[in-house]
Structure formats: structure tokens, C-alpha cells
Amino acid sequence: MRWQEGHRSPDVIDARGPGGGGGGGFGGMRLGIGGLVVVGILSVVFRTNLFPLFSGGGTTPARQAPAAQGPQRTGNAEEDRQVHFVSFVLDDVQANWTRIMPSLGRPYERARLVIFTEAIRTGCGAADSAIGPFYCPADQRVYIDLGFFRELRARFGAPGDFAQAYVLAHEVGHHAQHLLGIEARARAAQSRDPARENDLSVRMELQADCFAGVWAHSTQQRNLLEAGDLEEGLAAAAAVGDDRIQRSAGQRVRPESWTHGSAAQRASWFRRGWTSGDPNQCDTFGG
């Protein structure tokens, strides 16, 4: 992906360093990509489906606790370059939403991205890096430990900078759902019909994948893509499918327990957004 070296976003909060933790539950947090494997393995160990505890359905939102907002720190050259990259992607994704959101009936409000190490206090409670990247609607922030990108490459088999960009665009997609009221309607439907909790969670995640594809379409139009970027994005979307995660955790594939969708579904909805460039084509709730 072609991007501006040295970019710094005013919407990035660098809270790296030890001791970000804190108490509280996980409230409305959308479970991060990296956390899928962790929770899948724990579900096998305890022989119960633990995904609803982290999916944002059926829980009481935790009292908001502000994330640490220490001074911008510098690390090694590789870390600094990664900070600049996520800054560029965040600003580019949000610029695209600023352009298209009014056509959906409301202006766009920018989210902030918090970069942390090991643990952090959020508006949705305490979280640690094992959860992976996630969005907290209570404070309208995306959270990521940059170490996740190493796991994306090594554990999930999804290397490349555009795979990383897909992850961020997906999480900002959850912010767009929050602003558009989609998340609130899905939560209300989950409360009314708990039997549909997993199904509605899957639809939320697939729509965020499609929204990530809508942004990817815009990068193609602006000649920001390089050879292999589409394949990197599709590989990242497929790598975190529930069926692949269940197999990696030693489970049999059980579609009724999915909370994020299969590898094929996630790649398909990402491609749909990429092909159309139209968020109106991302209605995962219509069928």
C-alpha cells in the first residue's frame, strides 16, 4: 500500500507503556480479532460458549474510565514506522467516512485510536492485549496493541501492510455502525430475542468487513494500492473466520456457535464492499 511516511494523526493517542489496566467488565466492547482465538480455546477448556461475554450482547455497559493519554513516545525505528502507518490508515479511513456518511443521513464524527501495551482502561472496562484490536462504543475509540500485527502475520498467516489496514478499517466500521444506530438496534434485537444473539453478532461483524471493503475500494480509486494488496486483505478477513478458529482450537466446526462468520463469509463481504464501494450494499441484516 502506498502511504505517507512520517504521518501523524491528531486522533491517535499513544498510551504505550506498562500499567494501563484497571477494573470493570467488558460492557459493550466488540471482541477483537486476536481475541477470537483466545476465547475459542477457553471455550474448549471450560466446555461452554464464552463468546457472549465479549460480543457486546446481553451485558451491562461498564462505567466509563478514560484511557491513559500520556505524551507521544518514541520507540525503535520499526515501531515508529508502524505508528505512522496506523496514523495514516486511520485518517484515510475516517476521511472516506466523512465524505460518504452524509449520504446515509448523518454527519460523521471521528473516532480516536489508542495504541497501548499489555493492558488499558477503556470506557468498556479493562482490557489487555490478548483481546486483540477492538472498538469500544462507550468512548468511541479503537484500541490496539501493535504487537498484534506480529500475531496477524505469524499466528493467523496474514502478512502484509494491507492486512493490517483491513484490521483498522474493520474496527472503524464498528464505529460507523455505532453512529448510524445499527449497533443499538442490534443490541435491542438481541435483548428481545436472546436466541438470535449469535446470528446478530455475525451480521454485525460481516457488515464491518464490508465497510472495510468500501474503504479499500476508495484506495483503489486513488491509486494507493500495490500488487497483492487485495489478496492480503482477503487473506486477513478469511484468517479470522469462526470455522478456522474452531479448527485451530481443536473443535469441530459448529455454525450455530459462530459470532463473527466463516472464513468464506468474511472474505465475501469484504470483497462485496471492495467491489461496490457503496455502504448501502453492506446490508447484512436484510436476509
Which residue ranges make up each domain of the chain? Answer: 12-281
Predicted model pTM: 0.79
Q: Give the model's confidence band at 156: pLDDT under 50 very low, under 70 low, under 90 confident, else very high.
A: low
**Which has more pLDDT, 127 or 54?**
127
pLDDT band at 162 (very low <50, low <70, confident <90, very high): confident
In this predicted structure, what is the pLDDT of residue 135? 95
pLDDT confidence of residue 252: 78
Is the pLDDT assigned to residue 60 strictly greater than 90?
no
What is the separation, in whole angstroms, between the first and last Cα of the chain?
34
Condensed to tens digits (0 to 9), the pLDDT of residues 228-250 reads 787 888 887 787 677 776 776 67
**pLDDT tens digit string along 111-155?**
999 999 888 999 999 988 888 889 999 999 999 988 887 777 766
Q: How far apart are CA 32 and CA 260, in angstroms?
A: 10
180: left (phi over 0), alpha (psi -120 to 50) or beta: alpha
